[in-house]
Structures are given as structure tokens and as C-alpha cells.
Amino acid sequence: MKLHLLFSFLITLCLVGCSTDGQQKHATTSIKLRTANKQLQSNFDSCLHLTLQLLRTKVTDKEFYAYFSFDIRATGFEYGNVVLSVKDTLTQMPNSYQIFYDFLHKGDTLSLFRADFDSSLKVIDYRNFHLTAFRQFIDKKLTITRTNAIEIAVKNGMKRKDLDPILNCSVDKFFWECKNDCDGCLYLDIDANTGNIIEQGKVVYQY
């Protein structure tokens, strides 16, 4: 009997541990805010649910858990000109909610998916072109990751320091926008499919 109880306890402990790890990695359906405002917590939970619905228009549940991770640092609550984070103490209802997810591919965070909701939980804006790009990365139609773009940029004369490629799109293609943030420095647009440089020039600031 003692052996049976010990064995059952170990199984339960393992299941709880595995479940906790999964919840920490993909903590999306229920995140406890630092607030006593139950309506604010409820609205935030609804925004998370609505964001998942947007994501799942392009990806399956399996793909969602494989490629997406809730970004607790970027997600925020907008109060006029101030944006508070999930870790801040919240007392009043925000003007809008900003929900972010990281898209992870081959160990590389390629970009963020963002969805904005107003105080009535209506979608203000979301990055639909990012959803299309993520789908193409998953389907291997796009192959140049953020890390690849950095290496291509450096080989073409850009400085690695402060280089932060941004995934963007034109009418017919997705590309990485690369630039060194200094007057007269080089900028490159790199095709996210072929790795070819599709545009280049110099950064010019107007003073």
C-alpha cells in the first residue's frame, strides 16, 4: 500500500510539473494582473482570447504552440500617452489594450504579432501581413530568418552593432529592412525568400 501511494504521488508530481512548464511557456489564456479591478482582468482575458482567434485564422493549434510565445514585456495597457505593462499595478480601465506574441522559428525570434483593442474590446488594428509572413515561414516559402538577414547585411558592409532587422512587406514580397541608425550610414532591404538585396541606399536625417 505504501509503495502504491508513493508511486501515485510521484506520477501526480510529474504531471503537475509538466503542466506548470507548459503553462509558463505558453501562458496565454489566463494571466493574473496586478489589479483589484475584476472588469479589467476580464477584459484582458477576452483580449487574449480574441488575439488567439486572429492567430488561428492562419495557424493550427499545434503550430501555435510550436511557433508562438506570449510576450509579457511588450504587452501593455494604454492610458493617454502612457503605456503600462502586465507587471505594473493597474487601478483604472485603460483606453486600449496591446497584445503581443513572439513568432519563433528555428530558434530565432523573427518578429512580433500585435493586436490592439479599444476599451469596448473592438479590434482597432492587427498586423495581418505578419500572419501571412509567418504562414509562409512555416510552409518554408520564406527561408531567410532574422539571423540570416544580419549576416547578409554585415557581408555587404553594414555594422553589426545596433543592427536590428525589421520584417516588412511590399506589394509582391516580404523583406528585411536593415539599417544602421546614423546619418549617412548604409541601409539594405533583403528579400526574405531569396536573400537578394532588393534596395539599398544611405540613411539621411533632416535637421
Q: All domains of the chain, ordered by start, with CATH?
A: 30-138 (no CATH), 146-202 (3.10.450.40)
How do strand 96-105 and strand 76-79 relate by DSSP bridges?
A: antiparallel
Between CA 88 and CA 91, with CA 89 as vertex, the angle to 5 degrees is 135
State the 10-residue block means of pLDDT for the chain, 207 residues long: 36 34 46 95 96 94 94 95 95 96 91 95 90 94 94 93 89 90 86 95 76
What confidence score (pLDDT) does residue 114 get? Answer: 94
Rounded distance, CA 20 to CA 142, Å? Answer: 34
Answer yes or no: are the C-beta atoms of 203 and 184 closer than 8 Å. Answer: yes
For residue 31, which phi and psi values (nearest 5 degrees)?
-125, 120
Answer yes or no: are the C-beta atoms of 43 and 93 closer than 8 Å. Answer: yes
What confidence score (pLDDT) does residue 182 get? Answer: 79
What confidence score (pLDDT) does residue 47 get? Answer: 96
Rounded distance, CA 156 to CA 172, Å? Answer: 24
* Cα of 14 vs its chain's centroid, Å: 30
What confidence score (pLDDT) does residue 55 get? Answer: 94
Answer yes or no: are the C-beta atoms of 124 and 116 closer than 8 Å. Answer: yes
